[in-house]
Structure 1
């Protein structure tokens, strides 16, 4: 079972997210254990202050190292394995499906969600193992980013989605965007499902899905082709798609 610890100043933000849908079922099925901790509880002063003014001056407040250091040390001691400690911040590594798949193989993750102007640099240097950014924008804190990462990781754990193959064709899992989906009715107000999908010919269906993944990636995220290796057949289909767009 994976253990996920969340260090935050606003633990109530996670109750709705972890108590609904797939994330709730994953915990009920003992695929994951969530532990949300207010790191203000680890502050070593009577007012439980966790931030202070930055040395050198400047706007905003900076999270002090002591509460984070002590909270992470305590969680490490309680864990069964050496955890990855993940800092959510705009300066971190751009988050990808590949990173989600990497994290899903681990037993223990600790997420550090900060607020204010930033973190004392010693937290980055001596506590954190990974810095993650969910995009080139700035949020008021790391909580929403942590929720995004946790959701993307937990859904990959064995048994969480019911079928082990459920996530294999997800967008980015193959390097391509996912193909279109259709369900009943086959004819909805004159808008029809592609004939191949109701043909029962699984080989042709797989080919159609691959071609449509290529088409959607070409039209929406052509930059993804810089990072994947296409088969000779996929290259041929991609050239046909490009010619169709001319």
Structure 2
């Protein structure tokens, strides 16, 4: 089972991990460490996969792993109590200060972002694809953390594995959408081999949004999905 960690979160004393596909109980088209209750996979296998992930983090049955119904939005929620598997709210980020709750983000090529203010004992997690990052999901999760007692100047964040610029080809209209919002966004695009196409730096853009939010520090895992 592949589990990557970020030194910036290790230094904050935060148990965490970015998991790959291997090491799961699922088979067939779901053959992976599938933790998505809405995927159509066997519910018992999803439960087992989630148990394995938590076991790898050395977190036993007393800790609840919560995931959202992700919709590529800017919405963040505060988690004050656990919800049943598959009944997570429609949102793309969450924050909590409740002991015994683990926050999970499910991604393919989008960027998973884990955040923490270790002094306030507040954690956050976000699903940052281009839509969510562009529309403000990272600002939303920082604000949700603040409402639970975190301070921006103490929040650290790690950006997990996601699609790299070399692998992310987009049309010129996609780039124009970003540049119309802010001309500085041109820095996240480089020419592609095909005419009228460019390559988009999603992890760079995500990190820039975190820095604009005024948090203390950011780091990237630097792996391409």
TM-score, normalized by the shorter chain, greater than 0.5: no
Q: Please give the range of the TM-score, normalised by the shorter of the 2 chains.
A: 0.3 to 0.5
Give the TM-score, by structure 1 length. Answer: 0.30
Give the TM-score, by structure 2 length. Answer: 0.33
Structure of greater Rg = 1
Structure (1/2) with the larger helix percentage: 1
Structure (1/2) with the larger strand percentage: 2
